[in-house]
Structure 1
Amino acid sequence: MDPKSSKWTASSKNQFFMILAIILLQHQLQFPVTYAETAKKVHIVYMGEKRHEDPATTKKTHFEMLSTLLGSKEAAQSSILYSYRHGFSGFAARITASQAAEIAEFPGVVQVIPNGIHKLHTTRSWEFIGLEHHSPQNLLTQSNMGQGTIIGVIDSGVWPESKSFHDEGMGPVPSHWKGICQQGEHFKSYNCNRKIIGARWFVKGFQDQTHFNTTGSREFMSPRDGDGHGTHTASTAAGNFVAKASYKGLATGLARGGAPLAHLAIYKVCWNIEDGGGCTDADILKAFDKAIHDGVDILSVSIGINIPLFSYVDMRNSIAIGSFHATSKGITVVCSAGNDGPISQTVANTAPWLTTVAASTIDRAFPTAIILGNNKTLRGQSITKGKHNHRFVGLTYSERIALNPMVSSQDCQPGSLNPTLAAGKIILCFSKSDTQDMFSASGSVFQAGGVGLIYAQFHNDGIELCEWIPCVKVDYEVGTQILSYIRQARSPTAKLSFPKTVVGKRVSPRLASFSSRGPSSITPEVLKPDIAAPGVDILAAYTPANKDHGNSYEFLSGTSMACPHVSGIVALIKSLHPNWSPAAIRSALVTTASQTGTDGMKIFEEGSTRKEADPFDMGGGHVNPEKAAYPGLVYDTTTEEYIQYLCSIGYSSSSITRLTNTKINCMKNTNTRLNLNLPSITIPNLKTKVTVTRKVTNVGNVNSVYKAIVQAPIGISLAVEPQTLSFNRINKILSFRVTFLSSQKVQGEYRFGSLIWTDGEHFVRSPISVRAKKTSDY
């Protein structure tokens, strides 16, 4: 993350965290072993499913264990940070590495790990995906806009004064709610209402990791959001109606969240400091623990871990662990896929019980005219509303004004431009890679005295905000045309127009280039991401405390923005179908997703080369809320099935027993990894022939007959048995088998297809991904 931008969504700004992690690791390795053994650091002692329903008894067990380790109750009291006693059992405490090794051998302890730190991964978007506010028969109306559901948001807090969080029209606080409105710095009990019904903050893990305090920072030791990320995601999921919301006059319209009448519960775990920030495992797990206790229905988590991923029973994958316990209690957990695309195998949050969301574009554009001195007009995109060039000014190419002729200034990185030559001019810059961004280039041009920026980049999925000077983003083709004019003209000049807001003219959706791609690097047989949703240039509430922006509504891009879109949709579906499980809801989203854009053609991805989006880009496809509400059939999955899946990927019965607090017998089934009842089928290593089983539950018309339609991957033959499923009052759940046979003679790449069950009204589509593998040691 670029700490000066405070935009925690773009992968280009998240490099800071990776560098920080490497520095911290190297720093730790420089100390002698004796220091590592005696230095106290926060460790998480995970004990799996709680053994007692009484939280006080569970907490007492934790203190007794820690007292035994440390020798006294007083030492345990001063050491412990958190006791996890609602959703699962465990605690976080300051202990040495040798003490951590010792307590790991105590009876009942599943795992002990050091505290880690993770990163944080709308006026038009809802209409774009079909949730029209004024339509009398749509999902928004039928679900009463999510009234009665509670969305928990684990993020950077909330700015409660935002107009998006007023409670006009809200129903009463649900009777099952058990949470609190935790007070703190500039956050009082009256900051909660019938919209924000509860708020908590967790900082002990982050404090220990960073020695953080709020002196001289914009952070607040309370649920109040000093960054803006949490406010943005919360208002996207469930913001109330706000008329004429805009960013400095752009994208003006009626702002609202996906479920405008759903309630919000805020769990602040992510903290922003001048030289970095993040969210630690200890704090994240405590948020999950409290959210389970408080009674949320949905959890929206726009946080992720870096590659390489940790296993699903490894405490360093705190989101996987916390979400397992939440899902087993009926809470749907929605997570962002990550912002490390378009590279394959970068998707985060890959546990099969999660709903993982990729980011896409919408059909809104902000065209800006670039008028050259030869009267030729070219067009780019801009969301800058500042002092524009009403008259022609000098135009130059960044390489011509390099501060050091021996160092390339093509991409206008900080310190690369000569202020004497840049002053008063519009500068043309070319991005060299996806890791460079217009925001940092605009700061460089501004510092050098430039008055405008034209930024050429190979993809167009998202426009960085520029606060200081007008900025226009163009593709390489337009950038090259401008460069040709600069080279030919004796005194090149240009002026930039104000941007406009245009909707319905741009082919969308497109998969954002930054959106992390599959397949999963840890369990490739589980398709991730599950679904795609709007996540590019999303306008939502923001915090005025963020000095880099300070606006009430802000454009942000990232899978962090896509995640709460799906969380809001889940709230609507949950209101309509309160007894549906998290797996059933995920299945409804995946199997009804759209495959085509506004032009009727296949959805494409944005990247170094454009291609049709495949399941590793967008899972089942682009979210279609109206169809997801009535999917016809669902692929439901139980906690027991998830447990057997954990058995199949190598975990022992004893370790899983400690995780779940139930006696587990791992079944000997060689196909368990492929037979987990997901709404997709992924076979990463098809050698010759394999048969996969699935079962579907009828949630549509009682007496229904569904027939199979198969689109086999290239080079793969595919047979479904039976080819017809007949449902009635007795037979509500039916199974089928799919047999795959490879005809490829050489090692293959992934090929894609689909299986659709249809009764003529519903089309229940499962994406299929298959890779042929001819030898075991290829």
Structure 2
Amino acid sequence: MKSARARRAFVGVVAAIASAAVIGGIFTSATATPADVATHATHGNGDSAIVVFDGEPLLTHPRTSRLRPPLDLDAAPVRAVKKGLAVQHDRFRGWLRASSATVTREYHLALNAVAVELNGAKIADLRGAPGVRGVHRTQSYEPLDTADPDLTLINAISAWRSKQVGGAASAGADIDVGVIDSGIDVEHPCFDDTDYPVSVQRGDLRFTNNKVVVARVFHSDSSLTPEAVGAHGTHVAGTVACNADTPASVRGADVPYRVSGVAPAARLGNYNVFPGDVGTASDEDLLDALEAAYRDGMDVINLSLGGPAARTQDPIADAVDNLDESGVVVTVAAGNDGPGEGTVASPGTAKRALTSGASTVGHFVGTAITTDGRTFRAAAGDFPTVRRDLTAPLGVVEGDVNGLGTACEPLDGLDLTGRIAVVSRGDCSFSAKVRTVEDAGARGALVVNDVAGDPTSMAADPSVEPKPTIPAYMVGRGAARGVLAANGASATIDAEASYFRTGNENIMAGFSGQGPTPDTASLVKPDVVAPGANVLASVPADDCDADTCWAFMEGTSMAAPHLAGMAAVLRAAHPEWTSAQVRSAVVNTAAEGALTQHEDGRTVADDVTLTGAGLADLRAAVGARVALGPVSTSFRTLTGRSPAEATVRLTSLTGKEQRLSVSIDSRVGEGVRFTAPGAVTVPARGTATITLRAVATGGKPDPGPRSAILRLTDSTGTDIAHSVLFAMRR
């Protein structure tokens, strides 16, 4: 069992051998909008590959995995296993002498593998080498962008007040969270280390303090540093662990509450795989960063990044699974390519990853636009804003999206001279729309959202030239009818920014990646949902003109660090819990029925491939009484009438025996019958196992997902945990 104190002791032993720099990528804008700007990883250039060998790495090897974690890398059994792995790698090097490929990096901890430069060699040839389990062409990754409301939505503040946590000052105390991203601005007030105890700091000490205790860069260019050049990583880190009650303002508008991270007392590690203006991070970068984070003693690791889930076996997902088995909770973004079946990104597909979908927070900083006796609230972004009130007639671009056109092509014959153009979101980038209406003579642009909820900050597309110069704002989809009716009427854009609290919250984000995993396992991903649209958090000083910088961002990148903060709070409150128990506490106590569909913001979202177990609830997770493994159960694709079986392991989190009733309800879709035993006794220590069954019923129903909820209740009839059951019909 891994405790924070044990990992602290381990840190000092391995500090001198922690991993150094490799190859990196770029963050998106602080106001990125994932539905309009591509922020997913693409495949690499095809010149390198990850070669995975037979036999387990140090973290899961039979001779070392039973040692008390974290691994002492100087222990005799560990050295012996590592020597054996090195021999295996050397044999492969010898085999390569007849090939043009060369080994560039080695991995022993989370993966038994090497990275190779192909230099014209064929993947198929490498697969024939002795002892090789698999060869995977490398791919690259990008960040997934684009009282404190989001903390209230996940019941974080009430969790802090619980007896298990003991207040904000203890929420995540003595826990280290590694942020593998684009860097952390250590000068931001969110990361002020006043009153933090003196800690051992590692890496580039110019970018560390007693709050951000590690700063490492991963890129082959030795001139790059861990410095936070862009907004993404600092925003993610602030969501995890911004110091409690930090004052904030955005564009001159004071935020009427003080901002806190989910685990405000936690420490952070900066593992910058997107340094400077480099565009992407490779498999090698992530493996180096993951292993460095383990060596540095991180208790939780956050990956707000993703790539295509196209490989039949994903080495990065394997590494995530192995890290979890070794005691590190790894939280991952589900990706921004949703909605749609199978759009979840890698490594959020990993079985043991704590993968997050995204929902809305009902607030933003924006400006008022008045026209025809009505007032609309508008959000800005990367585009110019008015310096003084702008008054001009509205000019509607008509089309098929709520009566509006998307302005993705030249507006032949439409004269918008002197007008504030009104267009719809969708089909092309915001920059393309604004450039189109500016070319037609518009003085300003209003983009109407095409999904339910609030307007969001709009990201600029640097590929659009010439760059738009007119002011541009987004208004909510609910404004569509009003602005259509006001076509030609005078409208005024207010120059003064204001904070708006709207109540448009817990709506599934339209971009949120959706499962099941696109492989034969058909796993339920995301596991759970957290706030990820209009999330307010810290950004680096060079991202604004104010003394301290803050921004609203959206993306599953913003959701995953909520789970990382939750995991840190749980590890501090329950140091005896394993990583699997922490994951279960988060997933299997999530709030059901709290999320609504992005199409209308009203209909309850009951598709588990979109919502997982529901909306994360830290207060419930802190008080979890039983852990389930796995956290959800997939029976894959059912054909014929033979039942499929699966087992779920139950452990008590209270130290007491628990006699529980077992039931299945909340079925969605016909044609599958799920069954479970009616009761189970979970011992005070050890494990109880229940067997679940699923069988196809009826004739040939419509193909698609089927689901139900496995529910555990105590003797008083109180639900204490629930888990998703899932199957596909074809």
Output the TM-score relative to the length of structure 2: 0.80
1:592, distance to aligned residue in structure 2 (A):
0.8
1:753 — aligned with what? Answer: 708
- CA separation in 2, counterparts of 1:397 and 1:237? 42
Q: Which has the higher contact order (CA 8 A, sep 6+)?
A: 2
1:405 — aligned with what? Answer: none
Contact 1:452/1:471 (<8 A) preserved: yes
| Change in CA separation of 1:718 and 1:763 when aligned onto 2, cut-off 3 Å | farther
Contact 1:49/1:89 (<8 A) preserved: yes
1:356, distance to aligned residue in structure 2 (A):
0.8
1:159 aligned residue (179, 182, 185): 185
2:720 — aligned with what? Answer: 763
1:329 — aligned with what? Answer: 326
Partner deviation per Cα, 1:436-482 (whole Å, 9 max, x = no partner):
35455346556776443221232145502479665443455532432
| Change in CA separation of 1:596 and 1:388 when aligned onto 2, cut-off 3 Å | farther
- CA separation in 1, counterparts of 2:27 and 2:623? 44
AA aligned to 1:116 is Q
| Change in CA separation of 1:235 and 1:736 when aligned onto 2, cut-off 3 Å | same
What's the secondary structure of 2:238's corresponding residue? helix
1:514 aligned residue (511, 529, 545): 511
1:42, distance to aligned residue in structure 2 (A):
3.5
1:430 aligned residue (424, 427, 450): 424
2:297 matches 1:295: yes
AA aligned to 1:238 is A
Contact 1:9/1:339 (<8 A) preserved: no
2:203 aligned residue (170, 182, 187): 182
| Change in CA separation of 1:738 and 1:58 when aligned onto 2, cut-off 3 Å | closer
Within 5 A, what are the aligned runs for 1:86-105?
86-98=109-121, 104-105=127-128
Greater CA drift, 362-371 or 522-531: 362-371
1:258, distance to aligned residue in structure 2 (A):
1.3
What's the secondary structure of 1:604's corresponding residue? coil
Within 5 A, what are the aligned runs for 1:273-288?
273=277, 277-288=279-290
1:721, distance to aligned residue in structure 2 (A):
4.8
Partner deviation per Cα, 1:28-73 (whole Å, 9 max, x = no partner):
8xxxxxxxxxxxx44333336347733985796588457635769x
| Change in CA separation of 1:66 and 1:472 when aligned onto 2, cut-off 3 Å | same
1:148 aligned residue (168, 171, 174): 174
- CA separation in 1, counterparts of 2:687 and 2:647? 13
- CA separation in 2, counterparts of 1:747 and 1:333? 38
Structure with greater proportional helix content: 1
What's the secondary structure of 1:508's corresponding residue? coil
2:238 matches 1:235: yes
AA aligned to 1:49 is E
1:49 aligned residue (56, 59, 62): 56
2:625 matches 1:632: yes
1:155, distance to aligned residue in structure 2 (A):
1.2
2:511 matches 1:536: no
Contact 1:358/1:515 (<8 A) preserved: yes
Contact 2:241/2:265 (<8 A) preserved: yes
AA aligned to 1:352 is K
AA aligned to 1:354 is A
| Change in CA separation of 1:141 and 1:682 when aligned onto 2, cut-off 3 Å | farther
2:224 aligned residue (221, 233, 247): 221
Contact 1:370/1:380 (<8 A) preserved: yes
- CA separation in 2, counterparts of 1:474 and 1:139? 42
Contact 2:529/2:614 (<8 A) preserved: yes
Contact 2:30/2:539 (<8 A) preserved: no
1:266, distance to aligned residue in structure 2 (A):
1.5
1:318, distance to aligned residue in structure 2 (A):
3.9
What's the secondary structure of 2:132's corresponding residue? coil
| Change in CA separation of 1:110 and 1:608 when aligned onto 2, cut-off 3 Å | farther
Within 5 A, what are the aligned runs for 1:546-695?
552-597=549-594, 603-607=595-599, 611-613=603-605, 614-636=607-629, 677-685=630-638, 687-688=640-641, 690=643, 691-695=645-649
| Change in CA separation of 1:460 and 1:265 when aligned onto 2, cut-off 3 Å | same
Partner deviation per Cα, 1:466-524 (whole Å, 9 max, x = no partner):
796654434555324322332xx5xx321134554243x51421110000112221145
- CA separation in 2, counterparts of 1:11 and 1:391? 29
Contact 1:716/1:740 (<8 A) preserved: no
Within 5 A, what are the aligned runs for 1:129-528?
129-132=154-157, 136-137=161-162, 140-141=165-166, 144-173=170-199, 181-183=202-204, 189-204=205-220, 221-241=224-244, 243-250=246-253, 251-271=255-275, 273=277, 277-307=279-309, 309-311=310-312, 314=313, 317-348=314-345, 349-365=348-364, 369-372=368-371, 375-383=372-380, 386-387=385-386, 390=389, 392-398=391-397, 410-413=405-408, 416=410, 421-422=415-416, 424-431=418-425, 433=426, 435-438=427-430, 440-442=432-434, 445=437, 450-461=442-453, 463-465=456-458, 471-475=472-476, 478-486=479-487, 489=488, 492-497=489-494, 498=496, 500-503=498-501, 505-528=502-525
AA aligned to 1:266 is N
What's the secondary structure of 1:97's corresponding residue? coil
What's the secondary structure of 1:510's corresponding residue? coil
| Change in CA separation of 1:679 and 1:15 when aligned onto 2, cut-off 3 Å | closer
Contact 2:321/2:351 (<8 A) preserved: no
Contact 1:631/1:762 (<8 A) preserved: no
Contact 1:139/1:572 (<8 A) preserved: no
| Change in CA separation of 1:169 and 1:364 when aligned onto 2, cut-off 3 Å | same
- CA separation in 1, counterparts of 2:600 and 2:294? 42
Q: Percent identity?
A: 22
What's the secondary structure of 2:280's corresponding residue? strand
AA aligned to 1:411 is T
What's the secondary structure of 2:156's corresponding residue? coil
- CA separation in 2, counterparts of 1:619 and 1:16? 21
| Change in CA separation of 1:9 and 1:335 when aligned onto 2, cut-off 3 Å | farther
Contact 2:355/2:527 (<8 A) preserved: yes
| Change in CA separation of 1:729 and 1:279 when aligned onto 2, cut-off 3 Å | closer
1:14 — aligned with what? Answer: 38
- CA separation in 2, counterparts of 1:16 and 1:357? 15
Q: Which consecutive residues of structure 2, in runs of 5 or more, have no partner in the other structure?
A: 1-24, 59-76, 461-468
AA aligned to 1:227 is G
1:300, distance to aligned residue in structure 2 (A):
0.3
AA aligned to 1:12 is D
| Change in CA separation of 1:82 and 1:740 when aligned onto 2, cut-off 3 Å | closer
- CA separation in 1, counterparts of 2:557 and 2:315? 18
1:609, distance to aligned residue in structure 2 (A):
9.2
Contact 2:89/2:114 (<8 A) preserved: no
1:711, distance to aligned residue in structure 2 (A):
1.2
- CA separation in 2, counterparts of 1:723 and 1:294? 45
- CA separation in 2, counterparts of 1:580 and 1:514? 33
Partner deviation per Cα, 1:716-764 (whole Å, 9 max, x = no partner):
675755312234547x532223344544332234333312111134421
2:6 — aligned with what? Answer: none
Contact 1:8/1:229 (<8 A) preserved: no
1:539, distance to aligned residue in structure 2 (A):
1.4
1:120 — aligned with what? Answer: 143
How many residues of Structure 1 are paired with residues of Structure 2 in the alignment? 658
- CA separation in 1, counterparts of 2:699 and 2:411? 55
1:360, distance to aligned residue in structure 2 (A):
0.5
What's the secondary structure of 2:519's corresponding residue? coil
- CA separation in 1, counterparts of 2:398 and 2:681? 69
1:279, distance to aligned residue in structure 2 (A):
1.2
Output the TM-score relative to the length of structure 1: 0.75
What's the secondary structure of 2:203's corresponding residue? coil
